Structure 1
Amino acid sequence: MILQKYQLMATAAAGIEALVGKELRQLGYEAKVENGRVRFTGDMRDILTTNLWLRTADRIKIIVGEFPARTFDELFENTTALPWEEFLPVDAEFPVEGRSHHSQLHNVPSVQAIVKKAIVQRLSRVYHRRTRLPETGNLFPLEVAINKDQVMLTLDTTGESLFKRGYRKNKGGAPLKENMAAALVMLAHWFPDNPFVDPVCGSGTIPIEAALLGHNIAPGINRAFACEQWVNLTPAGLFDDVRDEADDKADYDVKLDIHGYDIDQNMVEIAEENCRAAGLTHDITFKQLALKDWRTDKCNGVIVANPPYGERLSDHAAVHELYRQMGELYRPLTTWSKYILTADLEFEKYYGAKATKRRKLYNGALRTDLFQFWGHKDRSKFRTVR
């Protein structure tokens, strides 16, 4: 059966769009990276595949239409002209979310109402409805986004954001989203045959994302997506086939050397609970340990850390002392690479060394920098797993 092709986009947090584009290309798609999103094309098989596999994206959306509009009449007419019946069955529930930036149509509730009215008119005409559409069926989440008078109407195939993998049963006071944690692991260029350490692991998100990557486990394998209920668009059995293919690609035999440490025993227990929920109990070792007390004689490892920023959980003096401890402990580990995410732009001053590279990222709305200290790998050494 030939499936309908759609214009698609993967949305992403500012600063990691290029990673999403790289992931899409690795999956075999042509990708165009833009601010906050990456465009590509695909059918329903591709939609589920990308929902299952993209580690750093937020959502996969179908682009139903794009057009300029500076008046409500233009918005209504152009929305009505789109083939909504190709997406929405007669009983579809289709709430419309909205946002607008730097545009003539800046009243978002009015924009949402006009788009909703236009879609209702189109569907009522096509389905020969003289009464109100029931909206008792499956959910089809729509969004109207206007930027500089350019309208984009999209259908969200994901449902809850892709960062909600389903394994995080508990969390600490300042949790890092799962897709941001995956981005940090990917930016660290870690290979599964090398040691991996998170010295301030909190609820364990970064080590868990590393283990999922190390085993080539699709991050969305244990959750559902909105599009799986769209029987009008999907041949029977398609989603089961795609999930089975994803599961077959996982390599559970890879031996991983991943450790997560935290000074708070309660957080260690939360990390262990989340690890069990992810099915990775035997792949990650969590332990209560202060950062300053960690030692290693291993080579060629990677440290990825999301320490307190000062703005979040601790006072500035305590955080700066933690950064000094990091520098004293990590600088002698010349074969190890270290990746530290913080909103403190003076991090290098307290760490005691200039980063090899800095990368601007956003942890939610908070500007952060990823300070990267690249190690010099000792090719003569092989890791010894303990």
Structure 2
Amino acid sequence: MNKYFITCPRGLEQVTANDINQYLEKKYKIDKGGVAFEASQDAMYRINLYSRTGMYVLKELCSFNASNDKTLYKICKNFKWSKLIDVNQTFSLKSKINSSFFKNSNFTTLKIKDAIVDSIKNELGDRPSIDKHNPDVRIFIMINHSKVKLYLDTTGKPLFRRGYRTKIHKAALNETMAAGLVLLSDWNKKDDFYDIMCGSGTIAIEAALIAYNIPPGILRDFYAFQKFSDYNPTLWKSILEEAKKNINFDNPVQINGSDLIKKNIHLALDSIGKLNLEDKIRFSVKDFNDFSPRNKKGTIIINPPYGERIGEQFNLNQLYKKLGDKFKTDCAGHDVFVFTGNLSLIKKIGLRSKRKIILKNGTIDCRLVYYPIQSGSFQ
């Protein structure tokens, strides 16, 4: 068993913990921006494959206290880096520092880099090179006040890089956040699902991956742990085979996405083609004003423009008012969720919300606002 930390978007820590808990033998611990846990090699492989809201699965290398550069350098240099990084390999460092002792994060990161290469040179007679773009080994540094933790990245490219998108829509929602919205909605995977402003289809696609029990990493061809000295290809192959067997396309649920812009729908169709979901998600070119649900119950999740990225070109006040009118008039019996980074625009919807969940989309403070639409409630 080793100690790990899985990073995730802020606000999705509990969702992430719930998502990975089935693979754990011991209780997890939630922290800001992630979840700490202990796991076997098998569980680490599975969490990389199955985590829907995680970003990186990091293996803890060491943890210590330091309050100055000299102590930091000394302890880092004493770690046996030569067992982890060979002189012919490249490595990179990524840091997250919140400390009054280490106020210059660039200098602190450089100090740890010097300690690593000096340690390896002392042991092996030469030093490895830095490669920021495609390193053999990725080291993550987390410093909170005087507490220093160094991690080895087991993931590689972040887990939101599912592999089904070749072209990125300029306002596309991160896949991990999209999956988080679906999980936060408590959608039962049986009632109809809609995104009536779907863009390139990320929310609807993530809903389908959840509904059909498709691992989000099923299309990925590489994880960082596959370069580790203790990599077990037989174990990894068996996990992949098991995952494919557990995909269940018998679920008769209807998942729908629509958008006014034809190019967006083309992007969505291209993505579901890679996942062989062409007959599982209905994408169509449609103005949300023309939307009407097929049945009396369902879940609607939308991420309308909110003044960042492409949103400035719209009359957003009027847009949000029309959304509220559409929900009130045509969506009785449905659970509606609106994800936005503009709190003032939410008021324009004109409906009484039941819950507002605080989330962070990159650097933007956002809310997922829940409206249970009942006939006559908002007349």
Same fold by TM-score greater than 0.5: yes
Q: Quick check: 2:354–2:370 contact (8 Å CA) kept in 1?
A: yes
Q: Quick check: 1:14–1:35 contact (8 Å CA) kept in 2?
A: yes
Q: Quick check: 1:309–1:344 contact (8 Å CA) kept in 2?
A: yes
Residue 226 of structure 1, aligned match among 218, 224, 227:
224
Whether 1:27 aligns to 2:36 is: no
Deviation at 1:190, TM superposition (A): 1.1
Deviation at 1:108, TM superposition (A): 3.0
1:193 maps to 190
Q: Which amino acid aligns with 1:131?
A: D
Whether 1:52 aligns to 2:49 is: yes
Whether 1:238 aligns to 2:235 is: yes
CA distance in 2, matches of 1:134, 1:93: 5
2:367 maps to 369
CA distance in 2, matches of 1:234, 1:169: 29
CA distance in 2, matches of 1:317, 1:234: 51
Q: Secondary structure at the match of 1:273?
A: helix
Deviation at 1:297, TM superposition (A): 4.3
Q: Which amino acid aligns with 1:21?
A: A
Whether 1:319 aligns to 2:316 is: yes
Residue 157 of structure 1, aligned match among 134, 154, 171:
154
Q: Which amino acid aligns with 2:23?
A: L
Change over 3 Å in CA distance of 1:308–1:132 after alignment to 2: closer
Q: Quick check: 2:85–2:128 contact (8 Å CA) kept in 1?
A: no
Percent of residue pairs identical:
28
Q: Which amino acid aligns with 1:215?
A: Y
CA distance in 1, matches of 2:129, 2:32: 37
Q: Deviations over 1:58-111 (max 9, x none)?
A: 110011111121222211221133343554456442222334323322333332
Deviation at 1:317, TM superposition (A): 6.5
CA RMSD of aligned residues (A): 2.3
Deviation at 1:138, TM superposition (A): 7.2
Whether 1:131 aligns to 2:126 is: yes
Deviation at 1:362, TM superposition (A): 1.2
TM-score scaled by length of structure 2: 0.91
Whether 1:120 aligns to 2:117 is: yes
Q: Quick check: 2:306–2:341 contact (8 Å CA) kept in 1?
A: yes
CA distance in 2, matches of 1:219, 1:296: 28
1:384 maps to none
Q: Quick check: 1:164–1:178 contact (8 Å CA) kept in 2?
A: yes
Q: Quick check: 1:262–1:289 contact (8 Å CA) kept in 2?
A: yes
Q: Quick check: 2:90–2:128 contact (8 Å CA) kept in 1?
A: no
CA distance in 2, matches of 1:353, 1:143: 44
CA distance in 2, matches of 1:349, 1:107: 41
CA distance in 1, matches of 2:35, 2:195: 30
1:329 maps to 326
Q: Secondary structure at the match of 2:226?
A: helix
4+ runs of 1 displaced by more than 4 Å? 133-138
CA distance in 2, matches of 1:212, 1:318: 34
Residue 284 of structure 1, aligned match among 281, 290, 295:
281
1:15 maps to 11
Q: Secondary structure at the match of 1:197?
A: strand
Number of equivalenced pairs: 370
Q: Secondary structure at the match of 1:337?
A: strand
1:208 maps to 205
CA distance in 1, matches of 2:106, 2:216: 35
My pick for the range that moved more, 324-333 or 34-43, is 324-333
CA distance in 2, matches of 1:316, 1:334: 30
Change over 3 Å in CA distance of 1:27–1:376 after alignment to 2: farther
User: 5+ unaligned residues in a row in structure 2: which ranges?
Assistant: none
Q: Deviations over 1:315-362 (max 9, x none)?
A: 487222222222122124331000000122134432121211001111
Q: Which amino acid aligns with 1:26?
A: Q
Q: Which amino acid aligns with 2:188?
A: F
